[in-house]
Amino acid sequence: MDRNPTPQDSLLSACICQVNLDALWGRETAKVQANRRAIGQVLRMWNRLRIPPKLPILGPHPLCDSFGYSIAIAMILKSRDKGRYAPHQQFETIRKLRSGFTNTYMNSLVGSTNFHTVGGESAKHYLSQCPTHSLWFERFSRGCLSHMGQDVRQDTAISVSVVLELLHHLEMDLEAAPDMEAQRPFITLGAFICIAFCGSFRGAEVFLVDCAGLQSSLQNPPDPSLPPHVIIPLLGRFKNEIGSRYHLTPLAAVTASGINVLRWVSRLVALRVHDTHRHGPAFCTARGTPLVSADIELELLDRLQRVQDLHPTLIPANVLVHDSYGISRSFRRGATLEARARGVSPEDIDLINQWRSFEHARGRRPRLAMRDHYSDIRLLIPALLRFSAAL
């Protein structure tokens, strides 16, 4: 900062000390000792031959932030904030400061003019003078991760027994509701659970279900030569694609454990017809506003807590439901584990879980109607149904 430190810089000085320590611990102790021994041997050989030492000058460095010290200090300071699972932030959280600075630098005047690429169309190497790309910053990041560690908590898998219990409670609430408006939250959550679990979707992906496509799949009966199923159409702007596309996932009408996907999907379509919303997202409010994860997750967690209270054999009493489960991954992980336990082949599991790989056509796929997409996947339907039918 081109000035001497003052008593007001005590926190900054402490952060600088921590940053230096992290940078030093970016290499393993044995590696540092090996380098030290090697340089000692080189100096002894040179002294034996009376060769003047040729080691490069190690400092001092110029009085400016050329290595990314400022971002490293900001990361260290942010790590002191309270985290979700611990009194401090996790490394995966504080590293976003580096990403934000790097992206800003790349879009700046100096970053865009000094940016170079080497390579062909499919593979490239990037040359940049961004401070956060320096070797020192890489060592600091490694050392910071080494001393902080990582507390990774994946969403706990939801078993098929828990899903059946959730749907059973929703059925009872649905019967007690006097009208369609009172049934709305129960229908929405029940359909979400069936689609997310049987389709092995991440939570955010379920909100891509298209209302018009869902109605079309119910109105047009499937091929009678195929097992009973319902088509779940996802409509959205997929990664590496241009424009909107349908992605169709066939789900068994009723699974082996008794999850009635067709019944809950039909209820969801009836709810949208009642709201006079025939286009747009299938999961939306009465006014047609798309729902997001926060609109469903709390209700789901509260119901999981109820299942735990009533049936501790399904969810152990020592499990913290609101910390362990999540709408993002719990259904996907549960469906994958249940499918493996029920003998579904790894190929079929990969086929249903890697649905995005079929959509990564880089904008080369034509804009097809839903019936044309259905024709494309018709031969894959038996293989795709084996996953949900086994649940």
Do 179 and 63 lie in one domain? The reply is no
Looking at residue 241, its pLDDT comes to 37
N-term to C-term CA, the chain: 62
Asked which of 97, 116, 148 is the last residue of a domain, the reply is 148
Burial 115-150 (b: 16+ CB within 10 A, else e): eeeeeeeeeeeeebebbbbeebbebbbebbbeebee
Residue 343's Cβ-count burial label (10 Å; 0-12, 13-18, 19+) is exposed
Q: Is residue 356 part of a domain?
A: yes
Domain count, the chain: 2
Looking at residue 84, its pLDDT comes to 75
Do 256 and 298 lie in one domain? The reply is yes
Asked which of 109, 126, 148 is the last residue of a domain, the reply is 148
> Alpha-carbon distance 339 to 335, whole Å?
6
Sign of dihedral through CA atoms 105, 109, 114, 119?
positive
Asked which of 122, 148, 174 is the last residue of a domain, the reply is 148
Looking at residue 26, its pLDDT comes to 86
CB 228 within 8 A of CB 253: yes
Do 198 and 292 lie in one domain? The reply is yes
Do 248 and 293 lie in one domain? The reply is yes
Q: Is residue 1 part of a domain?
A: no
Helices (H), 114-152: 135-148
Do 58 and 171 lie in one domain? The reply is no
Helices (H), the chain: 10-24, 29-48, 69-78, 91-107, 109-113, 135-148, 160-176, 180-198, 203-206, 211-219, 261-274, 293-310, 321-324, 330-341, 346-353, 370-377, 381-390
Beta bridge partners of 125: 118
Do 300 and 329 lie in one domain? The reply is yes
Single-letter residue type at 101: F
Do 99 and 189 lie in one domain? The reply is no
Q: Is residue 377 part of a domain?
A: yes
Burial 28-62 (b: 16+ CB within 10 A, else e): eeeeeeeeeeeeeeeeeeeeeeeeeeeeeeeeeee
In this structure, the strands spanning 124-127 and 229-236 are unpaired
Looking at residue 377, its pLDDT comes to 67
Q: Is residue 82 part of a domain?
A: yes
- Give me the count of residues in the chain: 391
> Alpha-carbon distance 84 to 359, whole Å?
34
Do 141 and 177 lie in one domain? The reply is no
Do 288 and 197 lie in one domain? The reply is yes
> Alpha-carbon distance 339 to 372, whole Å?
29
Residue 177: CATH number of its domain: 1.10.443
Do 101 and 176 lie in one domain? The reply is no
Q: Is residue 153 part of a domain?
A: no
Structure tokens given for 47: 């002294």
Do 192 and 247 lie in one domain? The reply is yes
Q: Is residue 238 part of a domain?
A: yes
- Based on its alpha-carbon atoms, the radius of gyration of the chain, rounded to whole angstroms, reads 28
Looking at residue 242, its pLDDT comes to 36
Distance from the Cα of residue 276 to its chain's centroid: 33
For 280, the domain range is 160-390
Q: From first to last of the 391 residues of the chain, give the pLDDT tens digit.
A: 778 889 999 999 999 999 999 998 888 888 889 999 999 999 999 999 999 988 888 888 888 888 899 999 999 999 999 887 778 888 888 999 999 999 999 999 988 888 888 877 767 788 888 989 989 999 999 999 988 877 767 788 999 999 999 999 999 999 999 898 999 999 999 999 999 999 999 888 899 898 888 888 888 777 778 888 998 988 754 443 333 356 788 899 999 999 999 999 999 999 999 988 888 889 999 888 999 988 999 999 999 999 999 999 999 988 889 888 988 889 999 999 999 999 998 888 887 876 444 444 444 444 445 554 555 567 778 888 899 999 9
Looking at residue 376, its pLDDT comes to 57
Q: Is residue 281 part of a domain?
A: yes
Q: Show Cβ contacts of residue 97 under 8 Å, excluding neighbours closer than 6 positions.
A: 71, 74, 75, 78
Q: Is residue 155 part of a domain?
A: no
Within 10 Å of residue 378's Cβ, how many Cβ atoms? 14
Looking at residue 374, its pLDDT comes to 54
Do 36 and 84 lie in one domain? The reply is yes
> Alpha-carbon distance 115 to 108, whole Å?
10
